[in-house]
Chain A
Amino acid sequence: MTSIRVSGRGGAAPKVAPYAFVAPAVVLFLLVFALPIGYTVYLSLFRTEVKGLGLGKGSRSEVFVGLDNYVRALTDSELGAGALRVLGYGAILVPTMLGLALVFALLLDEDRVRARGFSRIAIFLPYAIPGVIASLLWGFLYLPATSPLNQLLAELSLPGVNLLSPTGIYFALANIAVWGGVGYNMVVLYTALRSIPRDLYEAARIDGCSPMQIALRIKIPLLAPALVLTSLFSIIATLQVFAEPMTLAPLTNSLSRTWTPLMKVYQDAFGRGDIYSAAATSVLIAVVMFVISFGLLRITRSRAFGGER
Chain B
Amino acid sequence: MRLDIAKKAVAVGLGLALLAGCGGDGEQAADGPVELSFWAWAPNIDKVVDKWNATHPDAKVVVSKQAQGDDLVTKLLTSAKGGNPPDLAQVEYQSLPTLVSNDVLADISEGAASAKDKFAPGIWDQVTLGGSGVYGVPQDSGPMMFYYRADLFEQYGLKAPATWDEYAQTARDLRAKAPDKFLGTFSSNDPGWFAGLVQQAGGSWWSVDGDAWKVSVDDAATKKVAQYWSGLIAEGAVDKAPMYTPEWNKALNDGTQIGWLSAVWAPGVLQGNAESTLGKWAMAPMPQWDASKPRTGNWGGSTTAVTAGSKKQKAATEFAIWLNTDPAAVEALVTESAVYPAATSGQEAVSKPPAFFPNQPDFYTQAAKIAATSSGFTWGPNVNVTYTAYKNSMGEAITAGTDLVSVLTKMQTATVDDMKANGFTVGG
Q: Any chain B CB within 8 A of the CB of A6?
A: no
Select which of A47, A53, A250, A274 is within 8 A of B424 by beta carbon: A53
Inter-chain contacts of A60 with B (CB < 8 A): 101-103
Nearest-Cβ distance from residue A85 to partner chain B, whole angstroms:
13
Inter-chain contacts of A143 with B (CB < 8 A): 245-247
- Identity of the chain A residue whose Cβ is nearest the Cβ of B106 in the assembled complex: A57
Kindly state the separation between the CA atoms of A145 and B248 in the bound complex, as whole angstroms. 9
On whether the beta carbons of B385 and A272 are closer than 8 Å, the reply is yes
Inter-chain contacts of B396 with A (CB < 8 A): 253, 256
Nearest-Cβ distance from residue A54 to partner chain B, whole angstroms:
4
Q: Which of these binds chain A: B34-42, B74-82, B365-373?
A: B74-82
On whether the beta carbons of A250 and B244 are closer than 8 Å, the reply is yes
Kindly state the separation between the CA atoms of A58 and B308 in the bound complex, as whole angstroms. 12
- Identity of the chain A residue whose Cβ is nearest the Cβ of B387 in the assembled complex: A271
Q: Any chain A CB within 8 A of the CB of B259?
A: no
On whether the beta carbons of B70 and A166 are closer than 8 Å, the reply is no
Nearest-Cβ distance from residue A181 to partner chain B, whole angstroms:
25
Nearest-Cβ distance from residue A105 to partner chain B, whole angstroms:
36
Kindly state the separation between the CA atoms of A140 and B308 in the bound complex, as whole angstroms. 41
Q: A-B contact count, CB below 8 Å?
A: 111
- Identity of the chain B residue whose Cβ is nearest the Cβ of A136 in the assembled complex: B246
Binary interface encoding of chain A residues 46-81 relative to chain B, with 1 for a CB under 8 A from any of its CBs, else 0: 011111111101111000000000000000000000
Q: Any chain A CB within 8 A of the CB of B109?
A: no
Binary interface encoding of chain B residues 77-101 relative to chain A, with 1 for a CB under 8 A from any of its CBs, else 0: 1100100000000000000011011
On whether the beta carbons of B250 and A145 are closer than 8 Å, the reply is yes
On whether the beta carbons of A253 and B388 are closer than 8 Å, the reply is no
Kindly state the separation between the CA atoms of A249 and B382 in the bound complex, as whole angstroms. 21
- Identity of the chain B residue whose Cβ is nearest the Cβ of A277 in the assembled complex: B421
Inter-chain contacts of A47 with B (CB < 8 A): 422
Binary interface encoding of chain A residues 247-264 relative to chain B, with 1 for a CB under 8 A from any of its CBs, else 0: 001111111111000000
Instruction: From B103, B107, B256, name the one whose CB has the most chain A CB atoms within 10 angstroms.
Output: B103
Inter-chain contacts of B392 with A (CB < 8 A): 256-258
Select which of B74, B212, B241 is within 8 A of A271 by beta carbon: B74
Q: Any chain A CB within 8 A of the CB of B398?
A: yes
Q: Any chain A CB within 8 A of the CB of B384?
A: yes
Interface size of A in residues (CB-CB distance below 8 Å): 38
Within 8 A of A (CB), among B388-414: 388, 391-392, 394-396, 398-399
Binary interface encoding of chain B residues 102-134 relative to chain A, with 1 for a CB under 8 A from any of its CBs, else 0: 110001000000000000000000000101010
On whether the beta carbons of A267 and B388 are closer than 8 Å, the reply is yes
A166-B424 contact in complex given A54-B101, A55-B101, C-beta closer than 8 Å: no
Q: Any chain B CB within 8 A of the CB of A191?
A: no
Q: Any chain B CB within 8 A of the CB of A273?
A: yes
Kindly state the separation between the CA atoms of A166 and B382 in the bound complex, as whole angstroms. 29
On whether the beta carbons of A270 and B74 are closer than 8 Å, the reply is yes
Kindly state the separation between the CA atoms of A139 and B244 in the bound complex, as whole angstroms. 13
Kindly state the separation between the CA atoms of A145 and B212 in the bound complex, as whole angstroms. 48
Q: Any chain A CB within 8 A of the CB of B213?
A: yes
Kindly state the separation between the CA atoms of A271 and B73 in the bound complex, as whole angstroms. 8
Inter-chain contacts of B384 with A (CB < 8 A): 271-273
On whether the beta carbons of B422 and A48 are closer than 8 Å, the reply is yes
A252-B101 contact in complex given A54-B424, A272-B382, A272-B384, C-beta closer than 8 Å: no
Inter-chain contacts of B391 with A (CB < 8 A): 249, 256-257
Inter-chain contacts of B341 with A (CB < 8 A): none
Q: Any chain B CB within 8 A of the CB of A146?
A: yes
On whether the beta carbons of B423 and A273 are closer than 8 Å, the reply is no
Inter-chain contacts of B189 with A (CB < 8 A): 250
Kindly state the separation between the CA atoms of A54 and B391 in the bound complex, as whole angstroms. 26
Kindly state the separation between the CA atoms of A275 and B388 in the bound complex, as whole angstroms. 17
On whether the beta carbons of A145 and B103 are closer than 8 Å, the reply is no
Nearest-Cβ distance from residue B383 to partner chain A, whole angstroms:
10
On whether the beta carbons of B246 and A140 are closer than 8 Å, the reply is yes
A274-B242 contact in complex given A59-B101, A143-B247, A144-B247, C-beta closer than 8 Å: no
Q: Any chain B CB within 8 A of the CB of A151?
A: no
Kindly state the separation between the CA atoms of A55 and B81 in the bound complex, as whole angstroms. 17
Q: Any chain A CB within 8 A of the CB of B425?
A: yes
Nearest-Cβ distance from residue A130 to partner chain B, whole angstroms:
17
Kindly state the separation between the CA atoms of A255 and B388 in the bound complex, as whole angstroms. 12
Q: Any chain A CB within 8 A of the CB of B251?
A: yes
Which chain A residues have a beta carbon within 8 Å of chain B's beta carbons? 47-55, 57-60, 139-140, 143-146, 165-166, 249-258, 267, 270-275
25 A-B pairs, CB-CB below 8 angstroms?
A48-B422, A50-B101, A50-B381, A53-B208, A53-B211, A53-B212, A53-B381, A55-B129, A55-B131, A60-B102, A250-B189, A250-B244, A251-B245, A251-B246, A252-B395, A253-B395, A255-B395, A256-B392, A256-B396, A257-B388, A271-B74, A271-B384, A272-B388, A273-B77, A273-B384
